[in-house]
Structure 1
Amino acid sequence: MATNTRKPVAMVTGGGSGIGRATAVRFAELGYSCVVADIDEQSAKETLGMLQTPGIAVQVDVTMATSVEAMVTAAVQRFGRIDCAFNSAGIMVSYAKIADQQEEEFDRVMGINAKGVWLCLKYEIAQMLQQEPVVSNPARWADKPDVCRFRGVRGSIVNASSIAGLGGYHYNSPYCASKWAVLGITQTAAVEYAKDGIRVNAVCPAATDTPMLNRFKEKCPPALRSAAGAKKYPFGRIAAPEEIAEAVCWLCSDACPFTTGEHLKIAGGM
């Protein structure tokens, strides 16, 4: 077991825009080296240019095991280990009621949003299991030898779910199904690997000011547009991606060593 005297390493999928980009930037502000991964390599490189710490940009298709494995390998070859991961890559497609929804679109959303998270976990956890547990501040926990941080942590992972993973939404069955699935995968991974020093949690944001939300507004039926509007939230606005990033980084931090298998709803009072 080692004391953490080096720069920690964070990996972010979907890091080329939106919440993923904001989280990579925040990790870098907190001193992490960053692996920015996205299916759009150019957007990942643009995010990389915003970071204050060393990093790499990696092209990844989260629906392909070989691509995800290559992403993890690239991270380890560059930085030696992965301390934290945010599995943020995700999509929304067309908006229709279940009877009118296309099967291929259901498969595509589930492939990226649910299977993609599962594949990322599979290879991230496999790597973390090989890593030596790290104690970030032994003196802080010296009188509590059973506390998680004193025993050492191999890694912390956060998955992107949604408030759509907590309830039903009209015209959105594939997306809702995928985000409910993320919560089940998160809780299963958490109980399977807690004793190995790996924490797994999820965030469930409401409407957030991202390119994906803008695409949603353009394509969704008029009756749904109000669901993404500012007026429905007590604050009178929607979330900024930086606000979700703060929550992700907190879940990955030493501040919550007993937190695993949880989902954090970030919905502005909704």
Structure 2
Amino acid sequence: MATTRGKLVALVTGGGSGIGRATAVRFAELGYSCVVADINEPNAKETLRMLQTPGIAVQVDVTMATSVEAMVTAAVQHFGRIDCAFNCAGVEPIDGKIADTPEDEFDRVMGVNAKGVWLCLKYEIAQMLQQEPVMSDPAKWADKPDVCRFRGVRGSIVNASSVAGLGVVPGTNASYCASKYAVLGLTQTAAAEYAKEGIRVNAVCPGLTATPMMDRALEKAPPGTEETLASLYPVGRIAAPEEVAQAVCWLCSDACPFTTGEHLKIAGGN
């Protein structure tokens, strides 16, 4: 039996900057209480001060199971449950083709971008399985036949992949591409495994986005690179992190109860 949804709780990793920060802010605008998690605790606390709703800042290293488990425990101890999670923590690679990339660099990128998502899924799903399914507006679905009635969910998770997980992006390091392909595989598998348990899992695949990660890359690039990159997109610019945040929050909402195991490309027509 699904229960009526009360206060919503969202967990965001990588919430100290960029897309993660924008998503935490958007969740708060929508009324969610937020758990802002980041390896950089001061940055997470800075995001927390931007929120309009109650929240906590948690330091997390997503490559360590004990740290991820502690993050989920802190969220539940403070708010009682986790309704939505956005696994956004990630790192950019150093430049270089496969033959020029050190083994430890591959391990570093895969550790954060792929293993980190796997660990977050592992502990978020374990918590969600303990939760009663909830429904925000039972009357909205009252006249639907049993076969398609939305009975409520235990939780909704969105993982951060990339257009680099969908195909070759010239100049993008192979370890980064591999990690983002892996995120899509994790997303589809988790969605299939837990669909009948009322847990939805989806992914977003942004194109170039104006984040600190992007800024660091541009600092090492020749002058005019940003304009050149923007010209590759039919819309004539790169994305704002708030635009990705809107997509994440939509995927987490009950506006799309039949949507799971999907990825949403956000790439300005490219």
For the criterion TM > 0.5, the same-fold answer is: yes
Say if 2:36 is the partner of 1:6.
no
CA offset at residue 97 of structure 1?
A: 0.8
Amino acid at match of 1:93: P
**Separation in 2, partners of 1:42, 1:188:** 34
Partner of residue 208, structure 1: 209
SS in 2 for 1:7: coil
1:116 is aligned to 116
TM-aligned CA deviation for residue 148 of structure 1: 5.7
1:199 is matched with 200
Distance 2:158 2:197 in 1: 16
Q: Which stretch of structure 1 is more off in the superposition, 226-235 or 108-117?
A: 226-235
- What is the deviation of 1:146? 3.5
Aligned partner letter, 2:192 = V
Query: Is this contact kept in 2: 1:208–1:240, CA < 8 A?
Result: yes
Secondary structure, in 3 states, of the residue corresponding to 1:202? strand
The alpha-carbon deviation at position 135 of structure 1 amounts to 1.4
CA 43–90 in structure 1, closer or farther in 2 if over 3 Å, else same = same
CA distance in 2, matches of 1:79, 1:185: 27
CA RMSD of aligned residues (A): 1.7
- Amino acid across the alignment from 2:249: C
Structure 1 residue 180: Cα displacement: 0.2
Give, in angstroms, the shift of residue 230 of structure 1.
1.2
Three-state SS of the structure 2 residue aligned to 1:42 is helix
The one-character-per-residue Cα deviations of 1:78-114 (angstroms, maximum 9, x if unpaired) are 0000000000000012110111111111000000000
Residue 248 (structure 2) aligns with: 248
Distance (whole Å) between structure 2 residues aligned to residue 223 and residue 181 of structure 1: 33
Which residue of structure 1 lines up, in the alignment, with residue 68 of structure 2? Answer: 68
The aligned residue for residue 131 of structure 2 is 131
CA contact (8 A) 2:24 2:34 kept: yes
Check the 8 A contact 2:165/2:179 in 1, yes or no: yes
Identity %: 77
How big is the shift at 1:206?
Answer: 0.2
Within 5 Å, give how 1:222-233 maps onto structure 2. Answer: 225=225, 229-233=229-233
Distance in structure 1 (CA, Å) of the matches to 2:216 and 2:224: 13
Q: Pick closer, same or farther for the CA change 1:152–1:102 going to 2, 3 Å.
A: same
Partner Cα distance (2:133, 2:254) in 1? 14
Alpha-carbon contact 1:63-1:112 (below 8 Å) kept: yes
CA–CA distance in 2 between the matches of 1:228 and 1:4?
A: 50
Deviation at 1:226, TM superposition (A): 6.2
2:58 is aligned to: 58
Residues 19 and 236 (structure 1), Cα distance of their counterparts in 2 relative to 1, 3 Å cut: same
Number of aligned residues: 268
Q: Residue 47 of structure 2 corresponds to which residue in structure 1? A: 47
Deviations 1:131-156 (A, max 9, x none): 0000111111112233363x120000
1:177 aligned onto 2:178 = yes
Amino acid at match of 2:236: G
Question: TM-score scaled to structure 1, two decimals?
Answer: 0.95
Query: 2:5 & 2:172 partners in 1: Cα distance?
Result: 49
Q: Is the 8 A contact 2:218 2:225 kept in 1?
A: yes
TM-score, scaled relative to structure 2: 0.95
Take 1:229 and 1:163, find their aligned partners in 2: how far apart are those partners?
Answer: 14
CA contact (8 A) 2:191 2:202 kept: yes
